[in-house]
């Protein structure tokens, strides 16, 4: 018999009862596990749906933005096409008025006048190409006087004028103050003068000593499309003064320097669009007689698109 005061353990008692019982088994336990798994699956499905919706929203935003960009691009191309057609139409209109109809309202002059092609306003400027100095026929004295008239120091004007003549003339030796292949090589340039006439005014950019700012001032007064130098009747005041200076200050001698030339006209049409956009077409034509009929021959045609510019005669560099 057990001693008094001490409880004896019951050998028949389950020892598990003294520890935490395991999870419920049987049908009830399986029901609880399935419910928990289903709740987790529903949460994961909701996350997938949210991610998919976010991706579709982002994709839709990108598609809308791309569509707007394409629409703006198409609209810009349409406006440019309208301006181009208006400028081309103004050129045809002015060419007919000058060469065929001999309309007094379309005579060469320093001021531009406005015409309308459809609903588009177009600025027309007509000038004599023969008012300009020809890079291929001008003398060293005239070219030097012209460059100096633009505010270039005399020494620099002398070097640049000589370099221009060395560019267009044959031979390997430079004239005084000029530049041939050796001088270009010494300046670190990989090219030299072609020893041939200028094909365009833009070629002047490559002459040794030329700067972009000086070229921009010189170009509106120059040409390669006439047969000889201008005379004192030129409407270009810069060229007129250069002619006088080159002739030693005698306007009479300058007036005698020119020759008989076929009329050569430069017609510039600038179509003005919304927002200041401008489309410019420049055409240089000459009138020649063929079998007693006057015919226009196109010597040059240029096109450019630019932002707002108050000067319709500014060249399209």
Are residues 146 and 257 in contact, defined by beta-carbon separation less than 8 angstroms?
no
- pTM strictly above 0.85: no
Q: What is the pLDDT of residue 219?
A: 95
Which residues of the chain register pLDDT less than 50?
Answer: 1-3, 16-19, 21, 23-24, 256, 260, 289-293, 309-313, 317
Please give the order of strands across the beta sheet that includes 278-290.
Answer: 113-117, 120-128, 264-272, 278-290, 293-306
For the chain, the structural domain boundaries read: 27-132+261-317, 133-222+234-257
Q: Which pLDDT score, from 0 to 100, does residue 102 have? A: 74
Phi-psi sector, 127: left (phi>0), alpha (psi -120 to 50), beta:
beta
Residue 282: which residues within 8 A CB-CB, separation 6 or more? 266, 267, 268, 269, 300, 301, 302, 303, 315, 316
Cα distance between residue 299 and residue 283, in whole Å: 8
Beta-carbon contacts of 121 under 8 Å, excluding residues fewer than 6 positions away, are 114, 115, 271, 272
Q: Are strands 264-272 and 278-290 parallel, antiparallel or unpaired?
A: antiparallel
pLDDT at 148: 97
Domain at 133-222+234-257: CATH code: 1.10.40.60
CA dihedral 160, 110, 303, 199 (to 10 degrees): -30
Q: Look at residue 273 and give its three-state secondary structure.
A: coil
According to the model, what pLDDT value does residue 30 have? Answer: 58
| Cα-based angle 110, 114, 116 (whole degrees, multiple of 5) | 155
pLDDT at 26: 54
- Compute φ and ψ for 195, nearest 5 degrees: 55, 40
**Other C-beta atoms lying within 10 Å of the C-beta of residue 172:** 11
Distance CA 315, CA 317 (A): 6
Q: What is the pLDDT of residue 16?
A: 47
Beta bridge partner(s), residue 116: 121
How many angstroms separate the CA atoms of 128 and 245, rounded?
A: 22
């Amino acid at each position: 018999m057990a001693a008094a005061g001490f409880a004896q353990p019951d050998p028949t008692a389950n020892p598990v009862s003294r520890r935490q019982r395991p999870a419920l088994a049987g049908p009830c336990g399986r029901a609880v596990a399935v419910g928990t798994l289903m709740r987790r699956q529903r949460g994961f499905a909701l996350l997938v749906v949210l991610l998919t919706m976010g991706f579709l929203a982002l994709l839709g935003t990108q598609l809308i933005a791309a569509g707007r960009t394409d629409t703006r691009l198409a609209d810009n191309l349409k406006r440019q096409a309208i301006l181009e057609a208006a400028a081309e139409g103004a050129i045809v209109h002015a060419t007919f008025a000058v060469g065929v109809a001999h309309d007094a309202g379309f005579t060469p002059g320093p001021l531009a006048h406005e015409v309308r092609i459809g609903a588009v306003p177009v600025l027309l400027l007509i000038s004599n190409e023969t008012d300009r100095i020809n890079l291929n026929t001008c003398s060293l004295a005239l070219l030097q006087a012209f460059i100096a008239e633009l505010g270039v120091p005399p020494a620099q004007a002398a070097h640049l004028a000589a370099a221009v003549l060395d560019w267009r003339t044959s031979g390997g030796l430079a004239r005084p103050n000029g530049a041939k292949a050796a001088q270009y090589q010494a300046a670190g340039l990989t090219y030299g003068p072609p020893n041939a006439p200028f094909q365009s005014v833009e070629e002047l950019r490559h002459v040794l000593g030329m700067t972009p700012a000086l070229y921009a001032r010189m170009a509106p007064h120059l040409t390669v499309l006439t047969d000889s130098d201008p005379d004192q009747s030129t409407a270009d005041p810069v060229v007129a003064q250069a002619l006088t200076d080159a002739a030693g200050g005698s306007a009479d001698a300058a007036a005698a320097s020119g020759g008989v030339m076929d009329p050569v006209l430069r017609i510039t049409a600038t179509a003005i669009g919304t927002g200041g956009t401008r489309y410019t077409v420049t055409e240089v034509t000459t009138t020649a007689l063929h079998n007693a009929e006057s015919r226009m021959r196109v010597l040059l045609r240029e096109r450019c698109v630019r932002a707002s510019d108050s000067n319709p005669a500014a060249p399209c560099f």
